Amino acid sequence: MKEPLDWIIEELKEIRDENLFRTLTHIETGQSPEIIINGKSHILLSSNSYLGLSVDPRVKEAAKLALEKYGTGSGGSRLVSGSSDLHRELEEHLARFKNTESAILFSSGYLANIGTISSLVGEGDIVYSDELNHASIIDGCRLSRTGVRIYRHLDMGHLSSLLESDSETLAKKLIVTDTVFSMDGDLAPLPELTELADNFGAMLMVDEAHATGVLGERGSGATEHFGVESRVPIVMGTLSKATGSLGGYIAGSRELIDFIRNRVRSYIFDTSLPASSLAASIAAIDIIENEPERREHLWRLIKRFKGGLETLGLEILPSDSAVVPVLIGEAGSAVEFARVLRENGVFTPAVRPPSVPYGMSRIRATLMAIHTDEHIDIAVEVFGHAKDKCGI
């Protein structure tokens, strides 16, 4: 007789057969340019700590001091017992950084997206979502039980025709998009999106997870880069990537933030961030704003890396950020490519479905401002070796 959980064994076999089985690699160091795996040094080319701030001495010192003063855990949800002066200070920092009236923290970007989207719209409303939006946006849409209209990636004509076909309805409408797409690294056309939102009376929400710290003169993100800060009413971001810490946030008007504090379940019913993470984020945002040279160096490295890969004849998907996706194709080939990279001292795992569409598996390389030219040159050489070895 079958045991009730036997179906899991069958499903795992299917996952393995499709080359989609996921395992963990244990890294014995922080998110530095050179990491140790099984006692061996590798160049890290898959971190979202784009500015290297998770290992910055000033950020670590801020976290240490906060840990000493406040201890390890926050003790509860913000509304019950877990709201400290550091939460308030970071929210004020974020509002200033994102040029909005106010901001509100979540324990992660994932929680910010699922809670906010599912509270802004509900049954009978309509969400318009780019087909390559992050899973947390997709899950927020699912949780909201709204009608979801998926528009083709970056296709403003398609979005416009969908909005047009709903123009008679009085339902609330929400357009939601990543600003830098997490697996592709390309940019949403924010000026056109703000136009469409205005023309069709839709709310516009953008996810700045991979743009913050990387784009804009002050590093504030894509809204700053495109000069549309005052035209995007709902801005989501995370503190886990270029900010080098942990947490998520929504920035917007005072009313929007009051609404979230009163309505969003992933804010209300979740233990708040610990002091060490809050203090690290405050210190990191100061560095992002005051050290543009980190961003400038990062952009030089991106250019150098892409140039090197192009010379090798590898196919880079069109990206405009620190995410550099090298298209391989089938999942099995991408896994093999990543294995050869790792064997030769470069760590960047294969990205496979469901994170990317079938047939579009890739090596998603990400660069950090603490990489050197030498790291990049070595990485390019190893990519060349993997290309030859895998016959790509």
Ligand X SMILES: Cc1ncc(COP(=O)(O)O)c(C=O)c1O
Q: Between 170 and 199, how does the x/- string for binding to ligand X read (CB under 6 A)?
A: --------x---x-----------------
Q: Identify the CA nearest to 82 among candidates 277, 270, 283, 276.
A: 270
Establish whether 182 is a catalytic residue: yes
Q: Does 321 bind ligand X (CB under 6 A)?
A: no
Alpha helices (runs of H) in 182-314, residue ranges in sequence order: 190-200, 222-225, 254-263, 265-268, 275-290, 292-312
How many other CB atoms are there within 10 angstroms of residue 74's CB atom? 22
| Residue 32 lies near ligand X (rule: CB under 6 A) | no
**Amino acid occupying residue 316:** I
Q: Kindly report the backbone phi and psi dihedral angles of residue 187, in degrees, each rounded to the nearest multiple of 5, phi listed first.
A: -110, 140
User: Residue 111 or 328: which CB sits closer to ligand X?
Assistant: 111
CB of 214 to ligand X, least distance (A): 13
Instruction: State the number of binding residues for ligand X (CB under 6 A).
Output: 14
Single out the catalytic residue among 47, 108, 182, 272: 182
Q: Which residue, 209 or 334, has its beta carbon nearer to ligand X?
A: 209
By CB under 6 A, the residues from 371 to 390 that bind ligand X are: none
| 326 vs 351, beta carbon nearer ligand X | 351
Are 364 and 337 spatial neighbours (Cβ–Cβ below 8 Å)? no
285 binds ligand X (CB under 6 A): no
As a dihedral over the C-alpha atoms of residue 270, residue 271, residue 273, residue 276, rounded to 10 degrees, the angle is -160
CB of 146 to ligand X, least distance (A): 19
Q: Is 50 in the site for ligand X (CB under 6 A)?
A: no
Which is closer to ligand X, CB of 275 or CB of 386? 275
**Residue 111, helix vs strand vs coil:** helix
List 225, 241, 297, 371, catalytic entry: 241
- Sheet containing strand 173-178, strands side by side: 102-106, 248-252, 234-238, 203-207, 173-178, 126-130, 147-151
Least Cβ distance, residue 217 to ligand X (angstroms): 22
Element holding 195 (H helix, E strand): helix 190-200
Q: With binding defined as CB under 6 A, does residue 248 bind ligand X?
A: yes
The interface region with ligand X, picked from 8-16, 52-60, 207-215, 379-387 by CB under 6 A, is 207-215
Q: Residue 277 interacts with ligand X (CB under 6 A)? A: no
Alpha carbon distance 116, 78 (integer Å): 16
Positive or negative torsion for Cα 83, 84, 87, 88: positive
String of DSSP letters for 89-105: HHHHHHHHHTTSSEEEE
SS3 (DSSP) at 371: coil
Beta carbon nearer to ligand X, 278 or 382:
278
Q: Which of residues 92-131 bind ligand X (CB under 6 A)?
A: 108-110, 113
Q: How far is the CB of 13 from ligand X (least distance, A)?
A: 28
Question: How far is CA 192 from each of CA 12, 31, 145, 154, 180, rounded to the nearest angstrom?
Answer: 43, 36, 27, 10, 15
Smallest gap from residue 240 Cβ to ligand X (A): 4
Query: In the complex, what is the shortest distance from the CB of residue 212 to ligand X, in angstroms, rounded to a whole number?
Result: 10
Considering just the CA atoms, what is the radius of gyration of the chain in Å? 21
Residue 7: CB minimum distance to ligand X, A: 29
- Positions touching ligand X (CB under 6 A) are 108-110, 113, 134, 136, 178, 182, 207, 209-210, 238, 240, 248
Catalytic residues: 182, 210, 241
